[in-house]
Amino acid sequence: MDDSGLISDADERALLDSIDRWLTKKVAPVADRFEQADEYPTELVRDMCEMGLFGALIEPQWGGLGLSALTYSKIVARISEEWMSLTGFFNSHLMMALVVQKFGTGAQKDHWLPRFATGELRGGLALTEPDAGTDLQGIRTTARRDGDDYLITGAKLWITNAIEGDILAVLVKTDPGAQPRHRGMSMLIMPTRDADTGADAKGVTRGRKLPKLGYRGIDTGEIGFADAPCDARLGLVGGEEGKGFLMATGGLEIGRVNVAARGVGVARRALKEAVAYAQVRQTMGKPIAQHQAIQLKLGEMAAKTRAAELLVEDAARAYDRGGRVDMEAGMAKWFATETAFEVATESMRIHGANGYSKEYPIERLYRDAPLMMIGEGTNEMQRIIIARQLIARNPV
C-alpha cells in the first residue's frame, strides 16, 4: 500500500476475490431467509468484523485496513450484488469512525479508533430525527455541559446499528439559540451500552426496529436520550463546540459514495438476472432475448449501469484526492441510485409474473432500490448540490 491508501492491483484482486468467496459460501445461501424474516444476521456481521470491513477506511496505525475510497466502493458494490443490507452495517459505522479520524483529538483517536477498527465497538452516525432529515439544522436533540459530562436529551430516528450497536456519533445542539443554527451544533461520541454489563447506558432508551419495505435484516431503529451522560473529554469530537454540522456533512460524502456503489451493485445484479432470464424464457417459439423489445431494454440497462460505475469511480477518486467532493459524490449518488431503481424495475418487467415472486431475487432488488434515492440526502437535494457547486466552480 502506498501513502495515498492505494493498494496494488494484485492485492485488490485478492481482497475482492476473498469477499466473493465469502459471498458465495456464506451469504448467498442465507440472504433470502434473513431478509424475508427481517432477522439480524449475527454470524455474517461477525464475519465482516473478522475480514476487517469495520475498519476498512480506518488508518493502519489504529488497526484499520486504510483502504482508498475507490477500493472501498468496489467492495460495497460486490456485496450489494448479493445482499445490499450487509453494506449498511459497516458503512454507517465507518461514517462515525471517519468523524473521529478526521476531526478528533489525539486522545479520542487513540481511545476509539482501535476498537472501531476491530468491530469491538460497532455503531453509526446519529443525525436524523422525527422532524429533521435532509435539513440537519432542524435537529432538536440537545446536550448541556454538566461538570465533566454532557447530558444529552432528545430522540434520533432511522439510525443504523441503533438496536444491536454499542456506540453512536450523535449530532446535538450545544447552543440551541445560535444563529446561524449550524454554529450551535456539536458532535458527541456516545456509548449506548454500559461497558461492564452490556446493558443500555444510563439515560439511553432503544426504541423499535423500524419495519421497512426493503433493506431488511439490518437494525434501523429509534433511540432516545434523557439526560444521558457523555464524557466531555472523549465525547466532544475535536474538543470544541459548534463544529458538529461540518463534521456531519463531511461524513455524508463517503456515505454518498457508499450509497452510489450500492446502486451499482443492485443495478449489476438486476441486469445479470434479466440477461439470464431473457435467454431461457421463451415466447412465440424463441427466447425473449431475441425479441427487439427486450433487446432495447437490455441495451439501455447495460449502458446506464456502466455509466453509474464510472461516476462512482470518479467520485471515489475525487474523495481519495482530498478536498470537497460534494458535487462528484452527488452526481454519483443521484445517477447510480436512479439507475438502480430503473434497472430493477425493467428487470422485473422482463421477468413478467415471475419477477413478482419471492422465488426470484429480482423481487428483493426491486424493494431495496427505492431506499437509495432517499438515504444520505434525497436525490432532489443532490441535484441542487450539483448545480450550486457547478456555479461556484465556474464563476463568470
pLDDT tens, position by position, 264-288: 999 999 999 999 999 999 999 999 9
Residues 6+ apart with CB under 8 A from 173: 139, 140, 141, 142, 143, 181, 184, 185, 186
| 129 classed as catalytic | no
- In order of start, what are the domains of the chain with their CATH numbers? 9-118 (1.10.540.10), 123-240 (2.40.110.10), 246-393 (1.20.140.10)
Kindly tell me if the per-residue pLDDT of 296 is higher than 60.
yes
Predicted local confidence at residue 42, as pLDDT: 97
> Strands 185-191 and 220-231: what pairing?
unpaired
Question: Structure pTM?
Answer: 0.94
Q: Please report how the helices 362-372 and 326-351 are oriented relative to each other, as an axis angle in degrees rounded to 10.
A: 150
CA 200 to chain centre: 25
Point out the catalytic residue in the list 82, 222, 253, 376.
Answer: 376
pLDDT at 324: 85
Confidence band of 344 (pLDDT split at 50, 70, 90)? very high
* Rounded Cα distance, 62 and 330, in Å: 30
Answer yes or no: is pLDDT of 5 > 60. no
Residue 155 sits at φ, ψ, to 5 deg, of -140, 140
Residue 121 has pLDDT above 70, yes or no: yes
| C-alpha distances in Å from residue 246, one per residue of 99, 186, 211, 222 | 10, 9, 31, 24
Predicted pLDDT at 6: 66
